[in-house]
Structure formats: C-alpha cells, structure tokens
Amino acid sequence: MDNAIQARDLVKTFGETRALDGVDLTTRPGEVHGFLGPNGAGKSTTIRILLGLLRKDAGAVTVLGMHPWNEAVELHRRLAYVPGDVHLWPNLSGGEAIDLLASLRGGMDRQRRDDLVERFQLDPTKRCSTYSKGNRQKVGVIAAFASPQVELYLLDEPTSGLDPLMESVFQEVVEEVRRQGASVLLSSHILAEAEKLCDRVSIIRDGRIVESGTLAELRHLTRTSVTVETEHPVTGLVDLEGVHDASADGTHARFEVEAEGLDAALRHLTGFGVRALTSTPPTLEELFMRHYGGASPTADGGIR
C-alpha cells in the first residue's frame, strides 16, 4: 500500500525567501503523524503543496498515491483539510458553512455532523461574522470530520483558539478516525497534543526536516533527567560518559544523562546507597527546545 504522504526534497521559494529547502516527509497509512516546528518553519507551505494550492518548485510528492496538483479534485474527495485560521463567509451561518464545505468535498454524514456540532457545543445559527476565533476553528474541524470515507486528514494547527475542553473533544475525534484506519498529518506546536496523539513525528526547521521518527526513537536522541538521594555523597558523576549538568548538594544529586550512558550511570549510583530516585523521560518539549533553543530567530511570515 502506498504511503499516505510521500514527499521528497520539496523546494518552494517566494521571491527571495526559500520557504522549503528540501523537505522529506512520509506519513504511513493509518498513522497519526505529528508535523512540528516553530512559526514560519514551513509547515503551512508544505501542507498547501500537499493540497495542490501551491506549486512545488522542485522535488517529488504523492498524496494517497496521487499527484496533488494534476489530480487535485479527485484527491480532495479522499482527504479533508483544516487550516490553522479558518476564514468563513461573513453572511453565512456556521451551519451553512459546515454543510457547504462538507458537501463540496463530495458528501456529508448528517448524523455525524449533528453529533459533532453537539460535541463541540457550536451554535450553528450564528453568522460566521459573529464567531470568535475558536468557534470559526470549530466550524472548520466539524466540516472536515463530518465527511464519510475520508482517508487522509491534513490538519494545520487545527486546535488554535480552542479551549482545553474542546481540545480534548478534538483529540477524541482524531482517535476515532484513526481507529477507522484513516491517516492524519497533524501540524502543531502544542507538544502535549502531539505526544498524546502521534505515532510518529517530523520536526521542521527553516524549511528542512531536522528530525523524524517515533517518539521513542526521538527520545532516544535526548537526555533523561535524574534526581537521586543517596546515603553517601555522590562523587565522580562528571567523569561518566554521557552525563551532563551534574550537580551535588550533600546527599542530593541531579544530572542529565544520554540514553547510552543511562545504564552506566545507574550502576555508578548504586555504589552510594540509593534511597530515592526519580527520573523524568525527555519530553517532546525538551527535544523541541534542543532543536530551536538558542537558534537564530527565524522571521515569521515565511509562509505567504
């Protein structure tokens, strides 16, 4: 079976700006793939190319085995898209906008649509011009998930503006479509959301994918923080392979250790009589910070 998304070496320039500089992105069938990166890294530009709204300058891309530019209409029957900022027709009601977008995709499951309106607590009779950002976002999400037989969801920061309650409803909905076998590309910078939902993630920076893999694989690349209380003061930690930022205060010690050095570090500690030990696995956030922390700030607005 084809990968849901297969992009190789995508390049897109806007005038002088090189928005995408060789993006490789693979989303396997049935997986929820996190697409992470700071503002302006190229997430939306990539998704717009996958949708055939923008033309790639170079590279190769297939979506559901199809060419996103040449076969856009056929492809769009099989996928659903939620932009990060849903813009709607001011004089239409929210219900009308949902029906319009879902129907134009090729079909709408009315039962499902009403169910989603209920779950997201949206008043569908309000005019789109009076909706808040969060409510406009709900309209986009409901319209995307109300279509039956969608094989791929392209979600570009779909939960921006949603409150935590609605965010968890959104996560349930994504789980539901995952169980039905759909693939999802979820662009986000809410890392907790990605950690909860994603099977694999790709991290993009300055138009390039800098890291890609399962969360477990990515965690492997970073450090575990350890806090330990021992009977005797710990010594010699700094000399160990892979240990960083070690500090000791009498019988309390804390340090960070790379995955490869974890075993040796624990063996070393047992020699001092361990009383208590907490270890925190690396969060996506730390992973993220490692890639972006201290980096030269990238100008926002690279995606136009």
Partner 1 sequence: MTTLTGTRRLVRLALRRDRVVLPVWIVGLTGLLAAVVTSVLGLYASDRERSEAATFAANDTVTRAFNGPVAGSDPGSLVMSEAFVFVGVLVALMCAQAVVRHTRTEEETGRAELIGAGVVGRHARLTAALAVAFGAALLVGAAAGVVLTASGLPTRGSLLAGAAYAGVGVVFGGVAAVTAQVAEQARAANAWAGGVLGLAFLVRAIGDAAGHVASSGDAVVSAWPSWVSPLGWGQQVRPFAAGHLGPFALTVAAAALLAGIAYVLTDHRDVGQGMRSVRPGPARADTGLLRPLGLAWRQQRGVLLGWLVAMAILGAAFGAVGESTEDISEMSEQFAALLEQFGGGSLVDGYFAFLMRLVAILTAGYTVQALLRLRSEEAAGRLEPLLATAVARPRWLLAQVVLAAAGTAAVLLLAGAAAGVAYGLATGDLAGGVGGPLSAAAVQVPAALALGGGVVLVFGLQPRWTAPVAWGGLAFAFVVGQFGGVLDLPQAVINLSPFVHPPLLPAADLDVTPVVVLLLVAVALAAVGVAAFRRRDLVTAA
Residue ranges that bind partner 1, judged by CB under 8 A: 48, 51, 53-55, 72-74, 76-77, 79, 81, 83, 85-93, 95-96, 98-101, 103-106, 124-127, 129-130, 140, 143, 154, 301, 304
Considering the complex, state which of residue 89 and residue 263 has its C-beta at the smaller distance from partner 1: 89
Provide, rounded to whole angstroms, the least separation between the CB of residue 132 and partner 1: 11
Among 7, 5, 4, which Cα is nearest to 56's? 7
Provide, rounded to whole angstroms, the least separation between the CB of residue 116 and partner 1: 13
Considering the complex, state which of residue 13 and residue 214 has its C-beta at the smaller distance from partner 1: 13
Provide, rounded to whole angstroms, the least separation between the CB of residue 150 and partner 1: 11
Among 131, 122, 124, which Cα is nearest to 90's? 131
Strand order of the β-sheet with 208-214 is: 79-82, 152-156, 183-188, 32-36, 200-205, 208-214
Q: How far apart are CA 236 and CA 247, in angstroms?
A: 11
Considering the complex, state which of residue 95 and residue 261 has its C-beta at the smaller distance from partner 1: 95
Provide, rounded to whole angstroms, the least separation between the CB of residue 280 and partner 1: 39
Considering the complex, state which of residue 104 and residue 238 has its C-beta at the smaller distance from partner 1: 104
Residues counted in the chain: 304
User: 248, 237 in Cβ contact below 8 A?
Assistant: yes
For residue 205, the one-letter residue type is R
Q: Tokens representing 195? A: 């950690």
Q: 145: which strand partners? A: none
Considering the complex, state which of residue 81 and residue 170 has its C-beta at the smaller distance from partner 1: 81
Q: Tokens representing 206? A: 């300055």
Provide, rounded to whole angstroms, the least separation between the CB of residue 279 and partner 1: 44
Neighbouring residues of 176: CB distance < 8 A, sequence distance ≥ 6: none
Considering the complex, state which of residue 119 and residue 127 has its C-beta at the smaller distance from partner 1: 127
Provide, rounded to whole angstroms, the least separation between the CB of residue 78 and partner 1: 9
Query: End-to-end distance of the chain based on CA atoms, in angstroms?
Result: 34
